[in-house]
Amino acid sequence: MNDEKQELINKIETMRKKLNDSMEAKMEYDIIYQYSVELDKLIEQYIVAGY
């Protein structure tokens, strides 16, 4: 697996954990939404890259 792909996967996993943790902690909606948007962008990058 190339370094760029692994780095993107790591970013996705980190953001997924932040999102899950923020939901479990019942943080404000704006924060949860922002994490969700950031995760979506990372997943879109992964798909566009064709991994």
39 contacts 11 by C-beta, under 8 angstroms: no
Mapping DSSP to helix (H, G, I), strand (E, B) and coil, where does residue 48 land? helix
35 contacts 18 by C-beta, under 8 angstroms: yes
Task: For the chain, state the CA radius of gyration.
Answer: 12
Q: Give pLDDT tens digits for 1-51.
A: 789 999 999 999 999 999 999 999 999 999 999 999 999 999 999 999 998
User: How much is the pLDDT for 51?
Assistant: 85
pTM of structure = 0.90
Instruction: List the domain boundaries for the chain.
Output: 3-49
